Structure formats: C-alpha cells, structure tokens
Amino acid sequence: MSSGDDDYQATLNKMADLQELVATVEQASKTLTDNKANLLKIIGDCNKQINALQGNIDKIKGQGAQAKAQVKELIKSANDRQQSTLNKLKASITAMSDTTSLESQLNLLKKDIDSIAGAIDTAGAAVGNPAADAAANKANTSKPATYVPPPMRGNNPTVGGYTYGKSRRGKGKRRRRGKNSRKKGRR
C-alpha cells in the first residue's frame, strides 16, 4: 500500500509545481499584454506626429505654390535687370518648397511603424482588433526578393583575375604556363 501512497503524493507534488508554473505564465502574460498596450499607445502617438508632419508638409507646399505665383506675377511686370534677380528668387523658393525627400522619409517612417505594429500584434495579439489585423497582414506580406548576381551570393564573393575558373592543369592536359613563366629571359 505504501507504493500507492507514494504515487499519490508524487502526483500531488507535480500538481503543486504546475500551479506555480500557471501563476508564472499568467504573470508573464499580463506583463506582455501591458507592454503591448504601452507600445500601441506609443505607436498611436507616432501616427499623430506623422499626421502633424504631413500637415506641415502640405502647408509648406501651399505657401511655396503661393510664393511661386507671386514671383511669376512680379516677373511679368519686371524689367530685364529685375528679372534675373526674380528668377534667382523663384529658384530658391522652388528649392525651399521641394518636399519630395521629406515625404519619402515620412513614408518610410510610416511603413516602419506599420511593420512594428504588425509585429507586436502578430505575437499573441488579442482577437477582434481590426486595425491590428490589418497592420499584421501588411507586415506579413512577402516582399519580392531583389536579384543578386551569382558572384555576390553566399558569404564570400568570388574574386580573381583572368585565370578565375581555369585550372593550370586540366584532366589529361598539359600544364598551362603562368604569367611569369611566359616572359622571355626570366630566370
């Protein structure tokens, strides 16, 4: 009978260990959920900042277009001497109102934030969050692989001169002479 009691006691000990494990997992899950909520709040704030930046870019574009129109009117009514100065002014206004690089960097930032949000939501995301599901799907889409030429594939790219890929002696052939042995008077 003592062996039956020992098995029962061992089972109870295992169950007690499982309770500790369950408590640890629950605590880790709660911490993870809190961290996700904080990260999503930060990402939401980043999106607000991006929208504000986009508004500023649009404002700069509008002011640039207005300044260009005013300079065009001045050029029409100006004499030759003033026209060259106004053309320089127009060129500088055009350069100041050019926001293409800023917009491209902003779009890259948006993509990065979306991919981060997708990565957060794919790792144990809560069910029923359509914005998170859309971000996760966007992050999980496979990106087309860029073409890499064969010499650049792998860890070490192939290097070599005109003898690359050639053996000095093939199967059943005579030995090919190297560069130095072909030169006359070498010894």
- Count up the domains in the chain and report the number: 1
Task: Say which residues have a Cβ less than 8 Å from residue 67's Cβ, sequence separation at least 6.
Answer: 93, 97
Is residue 136 situated within a structural domain?
A: yes
Q: Is residue 164 part of a domain?
A: no
Q: Could you tell me the two tokens for 31?
A: 């911490």
DSSP letter for each residue of 79-102: -HHHHHHHHHHHHHHHHHH--HHH
Structural domain includes residue 134: yes
Per-residue pLDDT in tens (0 to 9) along the chain, 187 residues? 456 677 888 887 777 777 777 888 889 889 988 888 888 888 888 888 888 888 888 888 888 888 888 888 877 777 777 777 878 888 888 888 788 888 888 888 888 888 887 777 665 444 445 555 565 555 555 555 666 666 666 665 555 555 555 556 666 677 777 777 777 776 6
What is the reported pTM? Answer: 0.42
In a domain, 66, yes or no: yes
For residue 99, give its domain range: 36-140
Domain for residue 89, yes or no?
A: yes
For residue 81, being part of any structural domain is answered with yes
